[in-house]
Structure 1
Amino acid sequence: MTAEPAPVWVLADPRAGTAAQALGIAERLGRPFREIPLAWGALARLPLPFGSLAGLTPAARAAFAPPWPALAVSAGRRSGPVALWLGRRGVRTVHCMRAAGAAGFDLHVVGRHDAPAPAPNLLTILGAAHRVSPARLAAARAEWAALQALPAPRVALLVGGPVRGVGMAPAAAATLGARVAGFAGSVLATASRRTGAAATEALAGALSTVPHRLHRWGGKGANPLLGFMAWADALVVTGDSVSMLSESLMTAAPIFIAPQGDEGRRHLALHESLYAAGQARPLSAAPAPFARAPLDEMGRVAAEILRRGLLP
């Protein structure tokens, strides 16, 4: 017997962060989905405003054959023409992030900080799409229940790194760590690929004055990021990381943004949008607590897809 085709395709960009945005939407729909891996050829750099598979490698192009899904979810500029190509074959399309030919998508999900022009198919969200859900946070809280033994207030410190380039300056990491350690009962810190080994060790030294947990990028064991977020009484997130800032919105804890000084216009616009919505404050305002409720933007996107009848 032939397996029932998946009603949803996720066009998975090879960049994990971009693919995660499409996956985050698909996962909240509660329907089976199939990941279609994308691989880019030389023509992918062209901002085509119409449907085309020309940007794909021949091997990636071979995956595009009927039966077609009811819905395709995509993210990123390069996958836009691929989604539009499916749209010409009767597939409903949901695309997140900016792309050429945006009027052709059935639903276009764009961060408020990108200031998109109003359009009938536009849905603006605070931050960017991501894969953190209430269920995943609840599971992480149970998995990492031992963290509740650490002294309060538990401050999750989520550290990224330069938007362009490799490695945060060790002095900057040490300064940030010392600032957070100064008002935390304990610190739950995680470094990322962009932080760099030298900065991570400088951060470890700065946190040595308080009870803490530090997850080093590439370290052994499970990644505790969601556990740190689930048990945090406050979060401090470096301003370079759109993904961690957006994911943090799913918690109920106060969020403080630690600017790094090298963020571009779009990152700064994101910070301002979070401040204006009452969802975050600059690190200079810490540790004064403020009330905020979890913001489930992915749940809102999924509800809008169903409200518009894009998925039977």
Structure 2
Amino acid sequence: MSAAAESVWVLADPRAGTAAQAIGIAERLGLPFGTVPLEWGKLARLPLGWPTLMGLTAASRAGFAPPWPRLVISAGRRSAPVALWLGRRGARTVHCMRAPGSGGFDLQVVGAHDGVAPAANRLEILGAAHRISPARLAAARTRFAALAALPSPRVALLLGGPVRGEGLDPGIAAALGQRVAGFAGSVMATASRRTGAAATAALAESLTPIPHRLHAWGSAEENPLLGFMAWADVMVVSGDSVSMLSEALVTPAPLFIAPLGDEGPRHRALHASLQAAGQARPIADAPTAFAREPRDEVARIVAAIRARGLLTDG
């Protein structure tokens, strides 16, 4: 296990978006940390609310051995019992998202949209933790300085796809592209795996009337997402992605949410929480600008970890 020599362990769920929540917090602590990849067995489907490694495959369980970490950072329901198991061995625990047995964590980070009751060990944030920081955006603004030549207002359009399955309806992608092209000086667009090739092509066609850059999923070129975010005058993010909406909060640009039509109650609750906090508005309100302060929620999490003494011995 690569984490064995480190005093901070990150339990990495196989789902990239879930793992990114824990990794993002660890990165911002500024301390060396080790990443522990988790492999789930059949029992991980059960709501295991006690300290146990039962949800892991035998191979994954075999990798857990002392010396135990001082701090464990985890995210997602399935990793919760693993974190609690390490807590029984002296580790302090920071967990993101709802989970059974959540009263056993030293700090639990939950989104306002999750509707979890307040508790002494809980910190409520807007959206979810992630790996985007003001420092990374500042570096991207320099690295992708050529984007400054695009006509203003520069609109960053971050497009996802169906929450379950792959392949966005090309008509929806084209309509959104046309809507954004109608008020943008230029568009900086990204398409994800869930967008699909057909919808990406439809989006590209819809953006042909104006200057634009489009990064397609699987492209060999370097992903300019951070550059798009750093140079955006306006952000438009599809409503299917908790991660992209949360990341967009770090920028100062007005943020507009574009629902794709199949978002469930949790996503709709996220949209409502961002709008209630004055951090976002629906795409129907675009392009009316509005002022908002950037929200660095991961910095708040790190401050809470330090304030609670979770990095100290004893």
TM-score range for the pair, normalised by the shorter chain length: over 0.9
1:41 equivalent to 2:41? Answer: yes
Unaligned runs of 5+ in 1: none
1:78 equivalent to 2:112? Answer: no
In structure 1, give the amino acid aligned to 2:117.
A
Structure 2 residue aligned with 1:88: 88
1:265 equivalent to 2:282? Answer: no
Q: Once the 2 structures are TM-superposed, how far is the Cα of residue 66 of structure 1 from its aligned partner?
A: 0.8
1:153 equivalent to 2:139? Answer: no
Structure 2 residue aligned with 1:200: 200
In structure 2, give the amino acid aligned to 1:108.
Q
Structure 2 residue aligned with 1:106: 106
Q: Once the 2 structures are TM-superposed, how far is the Cα of residue 301 of structure 1 from its aligned partner?
A: 0.1
Aligned-partner Cα distance in 1 for 2:172–2:181: 14
Aligned residue pairs total: 310
Judge conservation of contact 2:22–2:96 (CA < 8 Å) in 1.
yes
Instruction: Give % identity.
Output: 72
Judge conservation of contact 2:153–2:234 (CA < 8 Å) in 1.
yes
CA distances 1:173-232 after superposition (whole Å, capped 9, x unpaired): 100000000000000000000000000000000000000000000001111111100000
Aligned-partner Cα distance in 2 for 1:306–1:166: 40
Partner SS state of residue 235, structure 1: strand
Structure 2 residue aligned with 1:217: 217
Partner SS state of residue 209, structure 1: coil
Aligned-partner Cα distance in 2 for 1:233–1:64: 47
Partner SS state of residue 243, structure 2: helix
Structure 2 residue aligned with 1:285: 285
Judge conservation of contact 2:107–2:305 (CA < 8 Å) in 1.
yes
Unaligned runs of 5+ in 2: none
Aligned-partner Cα distance in 2 for 1:73–1:237: 28
Structure 2 residue aligned with 1:15: 15
Structure 2 residue aligned with 1:5: 5
Partner SS state of residue 295, structure 1: coil
In structure 2, give the amino acid aligned to 1:276.
A
Q: Once the 2 structures are TM-superposed, how far is the Cα of residue 135 of structure 1 from its aligned partner?
A: 1.2
In structure 1, give the amino acid aligned to 2:204.
A
Structure 1 residue aligned with 2:168: 168
Aligned-residue Cα RMSD (Å) equals: 1.0
Partner SS state of residue 28, structure 1: helix
Q: Once the 2 structures are TM-superposed, how far is the Cα of residue 57 of structure 1 from its aligned partner?
A: 1.0
Q: Once the 2 structures are TM-superposed, how far is the Cα of residue 92 of structure 1 from its aligned partner?
A: 0.3
Q: Once the 2 structures are TM-superposed, how far is the Cα of residue 5 of structure 1 from its aligned partner?
A: 2.8
Aligned-partner Cα distance in 2 for 1:45–1:260: 29
Partner SS state of residue 155, structure 1: strand
Moved runs in structure 1, 4+ residues, more than 6 A?
none
Q: Once the 2 structures are TM-superposed, how far is the Cα of residue 234 of structure 1 from its aligned partner?
A: 0.3
Partner SS state of residue 208, structure 1: coil
Structure 1 residue aligned with 2:309: 309
Q: Decide whether aligned partners of structure 1 residues 7 and 168 sit closer, same or farther in structure 2, where only a CA change above 3 A counts.
A: same
Give the stretch that moved more between structures: 206-215 or 138-147: 138-147
Q: Once the 2 structures are TM-superposed, how far is the Cα of residue 165 of structure 1 from its aligned partner?
A: 2.2
Partner SS state of residue 183, structure 1: coil
Q: Once the 2 structures are TM-superposed, how far is the Cα of residue 4 of structure 1 from its aligned partner?
A: 9.3
In structure 1, give the amino acid aligned to 2:12.
A
Partner SS state of residue 54, structure 1: coil
In structure 1, give the amino acid aligned to 2:46.
L
In structure 2, give the amino acid aligned to 1:290.
F
Judge conservation of contact 2:4–2:65 (CA < 8 Å) in 1.
no
In structure 2, give the amino acid aligned to 1:111.
G
Judge conservation of contact 2:4–2:67 (CA < 8 Å) in 1.
no
Aligned-partner Cα distance in 1 for 2:45–2:83: 16
Partner SS state of residue 25, structure 1: helix
Structure 1 residue aligned with 2:276: 276
Judge conservation of contact 2:80–2:100 (CA < 8 Å) in 1.
yes
Aligned-partner Cα distance in 1 for 2:134–2:264: 31
Aligned-partner Cα distance in 1 for 2:68–2:133: 28
Alignment map for 1:173-252 (pairs within 5 Å): 173-252=173-252
Q: TM-score, normalised by structure 2?
A: 0.97
Aligned-partner Cα distance in 1 for 2:173–2:4: 51
Partner SS state of residue 190, structure 1: strand
Aligned-partner Cα distance in 1 for 2:311–2:64: 20
Partner SS state of residue 127, structure 1: coil
